[in-house]
Amino acid sequence: METETTIAQSIRATDTRARYDAACKRLLSEKIILAWIMKSCLEEYRDCTVEEIAERYIEGQPQVGEVPVGIDESVPVIRGSRNEDKTLTEGTVTYDIRFYATAPVSGDLIRLIINTELQNDYYPGYPLTKRGIYYCSRMISA
């Protein structure tokens, strides 16, 4: 009977977490799912239908994690901006899903950059609000 080493266990666990993370990012990069999130979380879209948001206001293809999501012929996906931000003094930030959208505001369209960060732990050990402010600040400064 072979016993699995702790290194083998760690590799297996890491691979499982990586696959889970990639699957979540792929699922959440679908336009219709992002449209539901946008309708629920962003005031600009509350009066729009989910279909209208997905078809009219979310732009192009996503940048997801470190690898862009491939185009699926049957499912519309989003176009995002670069999802990696490097600086000499603060290191590299990789955004989970980052994309452009337009928002209906008093008849005019404004362009938004939307960054969706996935969390698999409700209490990750650091303040999520602080991380959100940091990521937003990095996007503004970039």
**Mean pLDDT of all residues belonging to the chain:** 76
Q: Over 90: is that where the pLDDT of 27 sits?
A: no
Q: Please report whether residue 124 resides in a domain.
A: yes
Residue type, 86: K
**Among the listed residues 122, 6, 138, the one whose alpha carbon sits nearest the alpha carbon of residue 83:** 138
Q: What is the pLDDT of residue 70?
A: 37
Q: What distance in Å separates the CA atoms of residue 52 and residue 116, rounded to the nearest whole number?
A: 20
Q: Please report whether residue 1 resides in a domain.
A: no
Q: What distance in Å separates the CA atoms of residue 95 and residue 98, rounded to the nearest whole number?
A: 6
Q: Please report whether residue 49 resides in a domain.
A: yes
Under 8 Å between Cβ of 110 and 103: yes
Q: Please report whether residue 77 resides in a domain.
A: yes
Q: Please report whether residue 96 resides in a domain.
A: yes
8-state DSSP, 48:
S
What is the end-to-end Cα distance of the chain in Å, rounded? Answer: 55
Q: What is the pLDDT of residue 40?
A: 94
Dump pLDDT digits (tens) for 78-131.
555 555 666 667 777 777 888 888 888 766 667 888 888 888 778 888 888 888
Residue 91 lies in domain: 6-141
Under 8 Å between Cβ of 45 and 55: no
**Among the listed residues 33, 93, 31, the one whose alpha carbon sits nearest the alpha carbon of residue 65:** 93
For the ranges 18-32, 38-52, 60-74, the one whose mean pLDDT is highest = 38-52
Q: Over 50: is that where the pLDDT of 39 sits?
A: yes
Residue 29's alpha-carbon distances to 49, 98, 109, 129, 139, in angstroms, are: 18, 9, 22, 22, 19
Q: What distance in Å separates the CA atoms of residue 88 and residue 10, rounded to the nearest whole number?
A: 31
Q: Please report whether residue 117 resides in a domain.
A: yes
The three-state secondary structure class of 45 is helix
Q: What is the pLDDT of residue 38?
A: 92
Q: What is the mean pLDDT of residues 66-75?
A: 40
Q: Please report whether residue 108 resides in a domain.
A: yes
The three-state secondary structure class of 14 is helix
What predicted TM-score, i.e. pTM, was given to this entire model? 0.63
- Number of domains within the chain: 1
pLDDT level of residue 73 (50, 70, 90 thresholds)? very low
